[in-house]
Each structure stands twice: as structure tokens, then as C-alpha cells.
Structure 1
Amino acid sequence: MARQASGYAPLVPQPVRVLLARFADWPLQAVRLAFAAGDPAAEAPLIVIDAGKVLARCPVAAAEGVTVGLRVREAQLRCPAAVLCAHDPEAEAAAFEPVLRAMAEVAPDVHLVRPGVAAVRARGPARFYGGEEAAARVLLGRLDAFATPDCRPSAAVADGLFCAERAAERARRWAVVPPGESARFLAGLGVECLGEPLLARQLQQLGIRTLGRYAELPRADAHARFGAAGRHTHRLASGEDLAALTPRNPASDRSVEIDLDAALAEEVVATCRPAIDALFAELAADSLALTEVRLRVRTERRRDDRLWRHPWQFDAGELANRLRWQLADLAASGPPAEDLETGGDADPVVGVQVIPVGVGSPELAARGLFGDRPEPRVIKVLTDLQERLGYREVATLVPRGGRLLKDRRLRVPFGTAPPPVRERRLDQPWPGRVPGPAPARVLQRLAPAKLLDRAGVPVTVDERGGPSADPAALLLAPRAAPRPLLAWAGPWPLDERWWETGEDARGARADRFQVVDAAQQAWLLVLVAGACWIEAAY
């Protein structure tokens, strides 16, 4: 079957002008609206807390010294009369719905950034109302109906969401950042406005305190030092925000259901292909991209329901491939139990339902949430390999939570999005893990070695976690000459179940060393039960 050419959208050549409206301290407004009429708490100073810290506070509490991020106990000491209210995202979103409807009366296709902040493309309103500043004034005039002393709206027009929100934060009423001036406007702002507290602290420790200084760094250096977060935030600091304005509820019911009676996977895919092509034509007509889809396959006796995510965006050929993979997995799982008992034939497919779940702007999907999309020829080679070897055999590696290096790699089939951060448990502390930078090579199977002291005796770790002697040499093979060590660090204890090697080592204590030999080669070693193993090389 001929392969359809890759259909992802090109990058936007010019930044998108954004008209953004912002209500300062919207959590306070949601709390005020939740109070019943006449409730005395509605007139008291308010503090909204989240995870034991202050998320938002009213002007009275602010005057008493309560700051965002302050611990609850300290906030109570500074403002004893304040009423503490828990952060409720659902209530805040519900309270913001009337504001979104009011914005839609001024400009269509409202993009919800978060409760309290929303945006639209500036081009249409600017033409209709006679300029960007006029459009901002009209929008604020409509939103003033929702203002309170604690929560007033502001608006800004700029290139991209990031710059527009920073301008709205600093505007008394409205602000307009001229096209192409985002980098100059952002240059004087502090790095803490990037929304990455850890990265901001690291930059400040390096003496980089403004976005302008950060933007002066080569992007490759920011990426190498801070990873994906460094690359993304460097783009923001440089005024190169790729604004992805996705209208609310962009996907009405676009699900497609195909009834059929086929036993072979290729027959099913061929029958469904016209409906898939029609779905993508409909999405293209509405300037939308599909990034997440649910495929529901019904047979005479079973139903297989699977959610497929794409790291960039699907085209019709890729979605057909996903259907083919799902059918292959269904066939590999074997016939139903009743067929095995009666000796019946294979369970034929009687229906396929395609349900779009993630539908959004093609501008964001062109770059993707997981890095730039590869060249079309690379995609073709890799998908051809998937067809020959099986889709799981061509994979990329993404990080996941874990203490052992081999446990921190997750294989993801090429063309599928990795699980969310929470599912990969990247947000958990994992005490005992090796800090960065990551080793260049991680051994799939640990290699035996010996860590020796000056007398040639193997180094061990005592009950108090200290080495029996200073490491002096590393022996990589029984008949090899020991390698003198230039430097070493450790040991760092690791108390959890060890790797599976045929011996029951569950619950054994392990200790890590980092050593550098005379050839300037750095190694990560693990000592467990008196044996030394090589875990990785730097």
C-alpha cells in the first residue's frame, strides 16, 4: 500500500500576535464568589493556600507582610485576622467560565491559559476595532464587569503568550509590545518569571539574573547545561515564543465509526482508510491537528480499547499504522477462551471506532511537546523498519524515575508519545539516585570489577557507611593490570532491592563510588555483598 507523505504543518514564520487578558489573583475572586451573601468571611482578609504555602493573598494581608510562597503558620502570625481558604482549581475554572463567554463576545476562539488568564489572536480584533490598543480597551471594558477591589483585569498585546502575560502583569490597564520587540521588553525582567524555580536559582547562582543575560548565552549551551527546560526557557527569554492558541472545545463530536466484517488486518485497515482520510480532511479544513486518538476495535466476542498519543501530530497514514499495530496485538493475544474450547475460527472484526481526543493548533504540533519533529525521510526509514520488525522493536529512550541507572530508561516505540511525567514518576525524589550529569554509557548487564586500596586489598564499606581504605586502583579484568586512580568520591548508600542476577539479592545494601582512572576515564561503581560491579562509564 502506498505510503502517504508526512502531513505535519510547517513552523510559523512570524510570531503570532496575542491579545491576552489577565485577572490578578484569580483564586481570591473564586473564593469571594463562593461565599454566600451576608457571610462575614467575605469581608475578612483572605489568603488562598496550596500545599502548605500561600498561593494568593488580598491587599490587606499583603499590607501585613504576607507574601506568595510564605508558609501558612508564618502567614497566620503576620495576619491573624485572615481567613484561610484551600486552593480549588475546579471552583476557579467554573468561576472563570462567565469571563470566557464575555471574551468570546469581543473576539472569537478564546484560548484558556489557566483560570484567570485567557488569550485570543490579536489580528482579527485589531482589524475590527481599529488597532491593537483599541482592541485591548474594548476587551477591558467588557471584563470590567467582573472586577473587584482584590481582582482587576489587565490586558496586553505582544508576540506570543509568554511576553503578553509578562506585559499584562506589569500594566496598570493595558500595554502593547510592538512586533519584534519582545526580546528587548523581556531583557530587563528577572529569570524567576520563567516559571522554573530550580533553573532560576541555578542561573542566579551563576550570576545570570535577567532574561537579557540569559538570552545572550548560546542556546546549545543552555540546552547542554539545563536540558529540555533550558532550551525551552532560552527560547522564551529570546522572545521566540511559539504561541499555540487552541480555541476552547475545538473538537465537537468528530468520532468516526465503521461497521465491517473482516478477519485480516489489511482488510480492516483498507476498509477504514477512506473514513480516516475524511476525518483528516475535516480537521485540516478547520486548521486543527490530531495529537491523541482512541481506537476502539470490536470483534464478535471482544472489544479492544486503546489510547494512542503522538509526540507531534498524526497524519492519515500514521493513524492507519496505529490501527494495524493494534490489530496485530489483538491477534497476538490469541482467540477468546470459548473459541479454544469449541475449536472455532478466528474472531472477526465487526467494527472500528476512531475517537479524536487531543485536537489543537497545528503550530504547536509542528514543533511538538517532545522536541522538533524529525525530517520526513527519517520518519519514513524508521516506520519502514517498524513494519518489518514490529513497532515495538524501533524505540526511543526517555527518562523515568528510579534509583538504578538501568531503571531510569523507558523504551517508547517510535512515533508514540511517552507517558506523562507523573506516570513515569519523574516528580518523585528518589533518594539515592545518581545526580547529574548523566553517564555517557550505562551497562545493560553489570560488569565485574575490583576496587583496590594501596595494598591491593579490595575496598569494602563498613556498617557505618565508610570505606575500609582509600581506593587507589581499579581492576577491570582478572589478568589486566590495575588502573591507578586519580580521584574518587563516595560511597553513597542505596538500600533497596538489587538487580536480578540469579542470586537472591533482594533487600541487599549497595554502595556507589565514582572514580577516575589514570586514562581520564570516569566510572560509576557499585559495591554489594562484598562484590564490585561497573554500572556505567562517563
Structure 2
Amino acid sequence: MNSPLRVLVLWFPDWPLRAALGAPPHPPTALIQANTVVACTASAREHGVRTGQRRRIAQGHLASLRVLPHDADRDERAFLPVLNLIEQHAPGVTLLRPGLAVLRARGIARYHGGEAEAAEALADILATAGFPEVRIGVADGPFTAEIAARGLAPCTVVPPGGAREFLSPYPVQVLRDEQITGLLVRLGVRTLGEFAALTPLDVRDRFGEHGARLHALAGGADSRPLTPRPPDPELARSIEFESPLGGTDQVAFAVRQTADAVMLALGDASLVCTEVRIDLTDDDGGVFSRSWLHPTCFDASDLVDRVRWQLEALAAESAKEPVDEARAFGGIVAVRILPAAVDDAAHHQPGLFGSGTDERLHHAVSRVQTMLGHQGVVTAAVSGGRWLADRQVLTPWGERTVPPRDPASPWPGSLPDPLPAEVFLPPRPIGVLGADEDAISIDERGTLSQPPAQIDGAAVQAWAGPWPVHERRWTTGGGKRGHRLQIVDDRDRAWLVFHTGERWWAEGRYR
């Protein structure tokens, strides 16, 4: 893991309430989302109201509690002027969430003569601007700095290398993972120091990669990269056509100068673009938007390629729709290219001896994608789901991967780790026979007609199950249902099979 950056975190307590009600003090008030308290005033906390409570419980503590709906967009709009104010005195600020911002400490600390002096200077500036409640923490990495900012002191500086000692007495709940922290508490691990004292290999084996990440945070090893804040909208460039253009190559050729103009604007600001949003407007006034990511940074030809790919994808989607429901895809009358995330150009300068491995890899993959088409090169991600096929998401290279189902959500009936190394798409039919070579069946109670003795022509050495899986049982027909088994044959192959109807299917195979 890389050495953590020294960062400075600014925390504005109860920001959603500040955005909704203005400067404190406030009467007892709670903001509600999905019938749950997401923020409450200090006057409400004095009566027992807490974040995370159900609305009726909060009102039970205080009958006169004022309840307002929470608006996340309002929080962001209200925090933008604060970010601009910080940016004027400390360039490079990054928004973590409304009310919480982070920036690298090195530059501003050198300017003010030290980290504590820089934090005090920023606190004075914000207090003069009407934000005296700000709390500032300086530490190794955003996680430790945020914990420091949430202390009682206006400014808290954790010395370099002191993150582990500083975090040690804090409860594990500050990691904000109810599932893992709940299990840790039941195991008797109640503080970050006790969690950090566990062997990393044991933590990884028990909790997986996510648990290992939390274990690193508990020990003060926070190397999370800072995500640049959205750039100035003035960097965007657009072009309008006198007559609609219907051909992909026509539009791509027409936007070349626009792409060059975007790169010139970024160059004048000493920035590079790492994420771009492209808006296509057709002759009926419809706007088709899509965001594109880049592993390093875009150049003009990359932007033109993304416009072409977006048009091809749009045409393909229109062709898939039924004729009686399809919306006629007209010609394009305008294209807008908006840099959605930028970074300092100095971070992307080529090294003394040429470009790095990642950049060469990206250029090679991009060339292959240009030859094979937008869908020719894909990256894989894990999605939520009970069936293995549902958990695989393939996204074209360069696009943001957004799983259609949250993998962190509970999925009762899903397969626990370790997962099969090979997944059959679609599942392939397979024979699971008993000792008398008759097909095995499973009744509604999940009872096998006889133990499995053969699978795919091999003898069964061991087996486990069955486990029922029943999805969408409320739909017409009862949804997809079946029973899973894990079977090991005498050829040292481990199978994941399921039985549905009267047939057996191989869902995956372990290696």
C-alpha cells in the first residue's frame, strides 16, 4: 500500500440543516429521508433524537420536533459557494460529500509555515465568512483526518506516523460498516486499536478484501486517492449544425474542431480531463447524455472516438426497440463536450524515460477497441444477485462501470465465497444420477430422491446441499426457482449444479 498523503479535512457539522435552515441556532428540527432521521439539530439531540432513528421514535422523544424532508441536491448547491471560497485560498479542494471537503496539506502548509498554522488560517477565513462552526483535521489520509476533524477542538493535527496511535481508542463503529463492525463487537473487538492488532491475513481470510481495507484504515494506513472536484463549466464547448447530420462519420468529422477547442481550453488552465460528458441533441429536441472515463487523460482524438461510439450505441438501441414503440432517431443538430473531472496537468507529464506501463496499456487497448468497435473490448465488474450469471457485468472499455444491482446489499440465497472460477453462460445441461443410474429429483421440501453417485460420467466423491433459491415468487408463474448442490467428482473437479423442473444444470465449476 502506498504511503498516505498528508491531507487537511474541513468538516461543517450538521451541514444539511445549515443548507435547509441557514446559520444556527435552530429550533429542534430533524431532516427525514425514507422515514429515517438523516440529520438533527443540537437542540433535538438534547432530547434524545439521533441520526438513524425512525421518525416515530424521534417524535416519541420530542413531540414538538419539527420534521422536514431531506434534499441532497440542496445540500450540494448550498456547499458550492463554500468550496469556491476554500478554493480561493487553498487550490485543489475535493468534495467528499456536502459539508465535508479535503485537500492536500503540503502546499498550504508550506505557504503558512506549518500544518497547524494553515488550519488556523483557514478556520479564521471561514469564520469571517459566516462559518464559525467549521472543524479542521490534519493527518495521514482522509479517514484519519476526518476523525480528527470531528473532535471537539476547532483544529486537530495528528503528527506524521501517529495515525494508528490516534485512532486506537475510537470505537469500530466509526468505520461505518454495520455488518462487519457488528460482527467485530460480538467477537469482543470494540476499538480500532483492537481491530488493528489482528493479523492482516486472518482478517482477509475472514472478512475478504473489504474487511482488509477496513483493517488498514483502523491501523492508520489510508491511501485512498483524492478525486478531483468537478471543473469550471466554462471549459465546455459545443457546436450546432445548420442542418441535421445523420451519419456517424459526418458528426465525428464535424466535432473535430470542437474537441480541439476543449483541449486548448484545458491547456490554458494547465489541466487535463479524466472524465467527460457528451450531450447529443437531435432534431426533435431530445438530448442524449453519456459520461466517459479515461484511465489517464483524454486527447482530442479520444473525444472524437467517444462521440462516434455514443452515436453508434444510440443507433443500436433505437434499432432494438419494437417498431410500434420505437422513437425515430433523427439527425444530430448539436453536440456539447463537457469535462466532468479534471486534474493538474503536471500529474500527467511523461517521465524522463518515456510513458509508464499503464499508459502504454491504455493506448494498446484503445487501438484494439478502435478496430473491433466500442463493444469489442470490455471490463468486468461484480454486481449483486443470487445466480452467478447475474453477478457478472461487462462494460465497454472507457465507460463508467455501474452495477445494475448493489453487490453490498443482502441477497438471501446467494452463493457465499469462494465462488466458482468458471461460470457457464448459459448454464449447460448435466447429468446427476444415483447409484441405480436413475436421474435424481428433488421434492418441494428439498429432499433428494437418492444421494448423487455420478455426475457428467464421473463418480461422485463428496457433495453438499441442496440449498433452495427462489426469486420473484410474487410474480406470475412464481419466478425462477431451483435447488443448488456442490459436487466433487473423482477427477478432482468441483461443480456447482442446480435442479429446476425435471432437469439438472451446471452453473459453474471450481478449479
The question of a shared fold, defined as TM-score above 0.5 by the shorter chain, is answered with yes
Equivalent residues of 2:384, 2:391 under 8 A apart = yes
CA RMSD in angstroms comes to 4.5
* Equivalent of residue 526 in structure 1, options 489, 493, 498: 498
* Equivalent of residue 306 in structure 2, options 315, 322, 325: 322
**Residue 140 in structure 1 maps to residue 123 in structure 2:** yes
Structure 1 residues 147, 188: closer, same or farther in 2, change over 3 A?
A: farther
Match of 1:467?
447
Structure 1 residues 474, 393: closer, same or farther in 2, change over 3 A?
A: farther
* Equivalent of residue 182 in structure 2, options 198, 201, 210: 201
TM-score of the aligned structures, taking structure 2 as reference length = 0.76
Equivalent residues of 2:385, 2:405 under 8 A apart = no
What per-residue deviation string (whole Å, max 9, x for no partner) do you get for residues 502-534 of structure 1? xxx965663222223254643222211122222
Higher relative contact order (CA 8 A, sep 6+): 1
2:59 and 2:312 map into 1 onto residues whose CA distance is 60
1:28 and 1:330 map into 2 onto residues whose CA distance is 42
Q: Secondary structure at the match of 2:430?
A: strand
Alignment of 1:80-479 (within 5 A): 80-96=63-79, 99-100=82-83, 103=86, 106-108=89-91, 110-144=93-127, 152-204=133-185, 209-211=190-192, 229-230=210-211, 233=214, 236-237=217-218, 238-244=220-226, 246-247=228-229, 249-257=231-239, 272-273=255-256, 275-277=258-260, 279-295=262-278, 305-310=288-293, 312-316=295-299, 317-326=301-310, 353-361=335-343, 375-418=358-401, 420-421=402-403, 423-424=404-405, 426=407, 431-452=412-433, 457-463=438-444, 465-469=445-449, 472-477=451-456
Q: Secondary structure at the match of 2:143?
A: helix
**Residue 22 in structure 1 maps to residue 1 in structure 2:** no
**Residue 70 in structure 1 maps to residue 47 in structure 2:** no
Structure 2 counterpart of 1:24, one-letter code: P
Structure 1 counterpart of 2:177, one-letter code: E
What per-residue deviation string (whole Å, max 9, x for no partner) do you get for residues 325-369 of structure 1? 34656788999xxxxxxxxxxx99997735124123369x98xxx
1:494 and 1:381 map into 2 onto residues whose CA distance is 44
2:164 and 2:106 map into 1 onto residues whose CA distance is 21
Equivalent residues of 2:262, 2:337 under 8 A apart = no
Match of 1:483?
460
Q: 212-221 or 244-253, which moves further after superposition?
A: 212-221
Structure 2 counterpart of 1:511, one-letter code: G
What per-residue deviation string (whole Å, max 9, x for no partner) do you get for residues 372-420 of structure 1? x9733433443333233323122222233444322332221223222x3
Structure 1 residues 411, 492: closer, same or farther in 2, change over 3 A?
A: same
Match of 1:5?
none
Structure 1 counterpart of 2:121, one-letter code: V
Structure 1 counterpart of 2:499, one-letter code: L
1:22 and 1:46 map into 2 onto residues whose CA distance is 20
**Residue 515 in structure 1 maps to residue 486 in structure 2:** yes
2:65 and 2:286 map into 1 onto residues whose CA distance is 55
Unpaired runs of at least 5, structure 1: 1-10, 36-41, 336-346, 367-372, 498-504
Equivalent residues of 2:374, 2:396 under 8 A apart = yes
2:49 and 2:177 map into 1 onto residues whose CA distance is 22
Equivalent residues of 2:455, 2:489 under 8 A apart = no
2:257 and 2:296 map into 1 onto residues whose CA distance is 19
Structure 1 residues 452, 74: closer, same or farther in 2, change over 3 A?
A: farther
Equivalent residues of 2:481, 2:500 under 8 A apart = yes
Structure 2 counterpart of 1:490, one-letter code: P
Q: Secondary structure at the match of 1:462?
A: coil
Deviation at 1:492, TM superposition (A): 0.7
Deviation at 1:174, TM superposition (A): 0.9
Q: Secondary structure at the match of 1:392?
A: helix
Structure 2 counterpart of 1:383, one-letter code: S
Equivalent residues of 2:137, 2:157 under 8 A apart = yes
Q: Secondary structure at the match of 1:21?
A: strand
Count of aligned residue pairs for this structure pair: 487
Equivalent residues of 1:50, 1:86 under 8 A apart = yes
TM-score of the aligned structures, taking structure 1 as reference length = 0.73
Equivalent residues of 2:3, 2:223 under 8 A apart = no
Equivalent residues of 1:492, 1:513 under 8 A apart = yes
Q: Secondary structure at the match of 1:383?
A: helix
What per-residue deviation string (whole Å, max 9, x for no partner) do you get for residues 279-298 of structure 1? 33542553544233344568
1:228 and 1:295 map into 2 onto residues whose CA distance is 35
Structure 1 residues 447, 140: closer, same or farther in 2, change over 3 A?
A: same
Q: Secondary structure at the match of 1:434?
A: coil
2:453 and 2:147 map into 1 onto residues whose CA distance is 54
Deviation at 1:227, TM superposition (A): 5.8
Equivalent residues of 1:513, 1:526 under 8 A apart = yes
2:503 and 2:156 map into 1 onto residues whose CA distance is 66
Deviation at 1:443, TM superposition (A): 0.9
2:81 and 2:250 map into 1 onto residues whose CA distance is 49
Q: Secondary structure at the match of 1:511?
A: strand
Structure 1 residues 61, 257: closer, same or farther in 2, change over 3 A?
A: closer
Structure 1 residues 146, 195: closer, same or farther in 2, change over 3 A?
A: farther
Structure 1 residues 71, 264: closer, same or farther in 2, change over 3 A?
A: closer
Structure 2 counterpart of 1:473, one-letter code: P
Unpaired runs of at least 5, structure 2: 320-328, 349-355
Equivalent residues of 2:9, 2:138 under 8 A apart = yes
1:388 and 1:240 map into 2 onto residues whose CA distance is 40
Match of 1:537?
509
